Amino acid sequence: MGQAYNLTLNQVVNLVKQVQTTNSCPSRLILPSNVDLGQNDGPLSNALQDYGYPFDLVITNENISIPSSYFDSIKIRSITAKNVLDVGSYAFQNCIYLQEFICNKDSGIRTVGSFAFQGCSNLKTCSFLN
């Protein structure tokens, strides 16, 4: 497995630019708790859209909501999140590389939006663990 990086928002954006020019990319990204997911057209979502290789994503934020269409068509293989409250409609639509979504803490999930995992043809595991 490749390197793992614990990144700030600006570092993610810069890493994507580097990947585009060097064709070298870490296979696992760890977003620290101070990174705000923001809206689905924000800088983080846009940067991940340009990340050219499948990767594993670790989200360390507490009590997050994943906005609608946020990860649409992004090349994520797996997501491990600390605590998810809401998953928006179409949040992972067409993430064809996505194999697992795991929330490591009993999140008291409130909602999973319509078609949140539509088109995730390789999804095998979707768990909210205690």
Q: State the burial class of residue 124 (Cβ atoms within 10 Å of its Cβ: 0-12, 13-18, 19+).
A: exposed
What is the structure's pLDDT at 25?
63
- 43 or 55, higher pLDDT: 55
Q: What is the band of 23 on the pLDDT scale with cuts at 50, 70, 90?
A: low
Total-model pTM: 0.78
- Residue-wise pLDDT for 48-82, tens only, equals 777 777 888 888 887 888 999 999 999 999 998 88
What pLDDT, on the 0 to 100 scale, is given for residue 2? 47
Given a cut of 70, whether residue 1 has pLDDT beyond it is no
Res. 36 pLDDT band, cuts 50 70 90: confident
Model pLDDT for residues 84-114, shown as the tens digit of each residue: 888 999 999 999 999 999 987 665 788 899 9
More confident site: 68 or 20:
68
> Is pLDDT larger for residue 4 or for residue 123?
123
pLDDT at 46 > cutoff 50: yes
Domain ranges within the chain, ordered by starting residue: 4-128
CA distances for 31 relative to 44, 57, 89, 122, angstroms: 10, 8, 22, 24
Q: CA 9 to CA 15: how far, in whole Å?
A: 10
